[in-house]
Amino acid sequence: MNNEWDFNLEEELHEECGVFGMYDFDGCDVSSTIYYGLFALQHRGQESCGIAVSETEGPKGKVNAHKGMGLCNEVFTPEILENLRGNIGVGHVRYSTAGSSTRENAQPLVLNYLKGTLAMAHNGNLVNAPELRRELEYNGAIFQTTIDSEVIAYHIARERVKAATVEAAVANAMKKIQGAYSLVIMSPRKMIGVRDPYGFKPLCIGKRDNAYILVSESCALDTIGAEFVRDVRPGEIVTITKEGIVSDTSLCPEDKSKEARCIFEYIYFARPDSVFDGVSVYHSRVWAGRALALDSPVEADLVVGVPESGNAAALGYSLQSGIPYGTAFVKNSYVGRTFIKPKQSNRESSVRIKLNVLREAVMGRRVIMIDDSIVRGTTSALIVNMLREAGAKEVHVRISSPPFLHPCYFGTDIPNEEQLIAHNRTIEEIRKVLGADSLSYLKLERLNEMAEGLPICNACFSGNYPIEPPKEDIRGEHSE
Ligand code: SF4
């Protein structure tokens, strides 16, 4: 299973979004830096993107925004960025899991209300968005979009009328909204970062010269030459003003075991060069590979990773087992979002177009193939077959996560249970479907070790949801 940058177009899973905010105290324009930051977050969403900027010294409420469907380099031109003038801004890349894929649903959301203008970027999914939305609509609210993020923005705007500050309004809104949310909010004179009390999605603080940054993943800080300051804590509200950073931890859970970071960030979503809550994504993947080698050893000649997200785990397996690590696949990196998928009847397949096997590497050898997860299994079966066609003597499949058994309500588009290959099948039955000589998954209990003991969400594997799942299926609830 891989994302847009990888080969797998049939059964890719998607992260919902990436967020980026920047406030330059020296008054320098931030839009081009936000653009490069979003570029580094592109793996988190490829359907739409946008940037909203403002001047903290200018008239309150004057926000310049540009958003559209497509990748960052399709939506923005040098001229557009040149016209986005402002020293404070937020940016967003999006993939839709709740709410349809339309330009109206692109973010940041810009909201004019009694006290000025708010711009907001959201990563995650609320579990109580439909109820909150209905309640607001009964009270006369008119929504411009079909996304749950607008429900959050509405609540903040409504609370702001009563609250003394925008951060107090955010805190009041947080008491009503439930689910996964990492937010970056721009008010006329402040930038605010928020992480839900479970800490499902990452959010960290960076600094470059006299500017502060709030961003989903630390890799984007490296891209723009900023230093990592720290992660925003689960439940924390961070307010960045010229006077400095103010932290409100009143909604942080006292009992840290209640936190529930999405373990799938470590397994697959986040870039390996990111560090999430002090744990290197790369190290966690290498560790998963080591754990697989410890728990599911097999005699073989070569360990290979399915690019890109299987590579680090393959290295870990190799290091632990002593079996050489090698490259078995050559990837065509030019298959983008607008790639025309071959028809089912065609001889070509998306997988073959994106990926080819290095015959010389696998011919006559016993190969251990490592991938990060299996969703429906169609792609894995094809790759196993491709290895065999290229002359591999044996193909042993090792998966660096447990079997997917349950849907996610917090922002990942895991399909319904019936479509998951592991649903109602034994490992042996799955092995047969894949056509592999052996098959093993990472043990559930190893996930905690992957996150170095941090409290995690593993509901899609275990069914233990940190928040009661909604009674109605909210996933895609507002889709057309
Ligand atoms: S259910 Fe799975 S994908 Fe969803 S937040 Fe939990 S670990 Fe992440």
Please identify, among 201, 226, 259, the residue that sits at the C-terminal boundary of a domain: 259
- Looking at the domain assignment, is residue 214 inside a domain? yes
What's the number of domains the chain is made of? 2
Does a structural domain hold residue 9?
Answer: no
Question: What distance in angstroms lies between residue 322's CA and the mean position of ligand 1's atoms?
Answer: 32
233 and 337 in a common domain: no
Q: Among 227, 259, 291, give the residue marking a domain's end.
A: 259
One domain, residues 162 and 61? yes
Alpha carbon nearest to ligand 1 atom 8, residue: 262
**Annotated binding site for Mg(2+): which residue ranges?**
309, 371-372
Same domain, 178 and 219: yes
Q: Quick check: CB of 264 below 6 Å from ligand 1?
A: yes
Establish whether residue 450 lines the binding site of ligand 1, counting it when its CB lies within 6 angstroms of any ligand atom. no
Together in a domain, 188 and 337: no
Q: Among residues 122, 111, 193, which one has the least CA distance to residue 159?
A: 111
Cα–Cα distance, 29 to 211 (Å, whole number) = 11
pLDDT of residue 146: 83
Statement to judge: residues 418 and 446 lie in one domain:
yes
CA-CA distances (angstroms) from residue 4 to 201, 338, 369, 376?
20, 10, 21, 17
Q: Which pLDDT value is given to residue 141?
A: 82
Cα of 335 vs centre of ligand 1, distance in Å, is 27
The pLDDT value recorded for residue 99 is: 60
Q: Is 135 in a helix, a strand, or coil?
A: helix
318 and 437, same domain (yes or no): yes
> Per residue in 210-264, pLDDT tens?
999 999 999 999 999 999 999 999 999 999 999 999 999 999 999 999 999 999 9
> Which residues define the annotated binding site for [4Fe-4S] cluster?
262, 408, 457, 460
Comparing CA positions, the residue from 182, 186, 143, 220 lying closest to residue 51 is 186
Q: Are residues 330 and 221 in the same domain?
A: no
Establish if 30 belongs to a structural domain: yes
Residue closest via CA to ligand 1's atom 2 equals: 460
In a domain, 4, yes or no: no
Q: What CATH number does the domain containing 356 carry?
A: 3.40.50.2020
Q: Residue 37: enclosing H or E segment and its boundaries?
A: helix 31-40
Q: Is residue 471 part of a domain?
A: no
The reply to whether 17 belongs to the active site is: yes
**Inter-CA distances, 469 with 379, 412, 420, 475, Å:** 29, 14, 19, 11
Nearest residue to 239 (alpha-carbon basis) of 269, 214, 217 = 214
Question: Does residue 1 line the site of ligand 1, with CB under 6 A?
Answer: no
pLDDT tens for 294-317 read 999 999 999 999 998 899 999 999
CB burial string 14-26: b at 16+ within 10 A, e below: bbbbbbbbbbbbe
Identify the helix (H) or strand (E) that includes residue 248.
Answer: strand 244-248
- Residue 256 has φ and ψ, to the nearest 5°, of -65, -20
- Residues 330 and 356: beta-carbon distance below 8 Å: yes
Q: How far is the CA of 175 from the centre of ligand 1 (A)?
A: 22
Residue of 263, 265, 454 to test ligand 1 pocket, by largest number of atoms within 8 Å of CB: 263
Residues in the chain, overall count = 480
Residues of the chain with pLDDT under 50: 1-10, 477-480
Note whether 165 and 218 are same-domain residues. Answer: yes
- Domain span at residue 121 reads 17-259
- Chain centre distance of CA 291: 24
Q: Does residue 254 lie in a domain region?
A: yes
Say yes or no: 344 and 251 in one domain.
Answer: no
Kindly state whether residue 40 falls inside one of the protein's structural domains: yes
The domain that holds 52 is classified in CATH as: 3.60.20.10
- Give distance in angstroms: CA of 62 to centre of ligand 1: 38
Ligand 1 within 6 A of 408 CB? yes
* 252 shares its domain with 285: no
Distance between Cα 19 and ligand 1 center (Å): 19
Q: Residue 269: inside a domain, yes or no?
A: no
Ligand 1: which atom is nearest the Cα of residue 13?
A: 3
- Please work out whether the CB of residue 460 comes within 6 Å of at least one atom of ligand 1: yes
Q: Which is catalytic among the residues 17, 72, 204, 252?
A: 17
Residue 297 sits in the same domain as residue 361: yes
Residue nearest to atom 6 of ligand 1 (CA): 457
Substitution site in 44, 181, 404, 412 for ligand 1 pocket (most atoms within 8 Å of beta carbon): 412
Q: Are residues 212 and 91 in the same domain?
A: yes
Q: How far is the CA of 119 from the CAs of 140, 141, 170, 427, 480, in angstroms?
A: 22, 18, 13, 48, 25
Query: Is the CB–ligand 1 distance for residue 31 below 6 Å?
Result: no
Which residues are documented as binding site? 262, 309, 371-372, 408, 457, 460
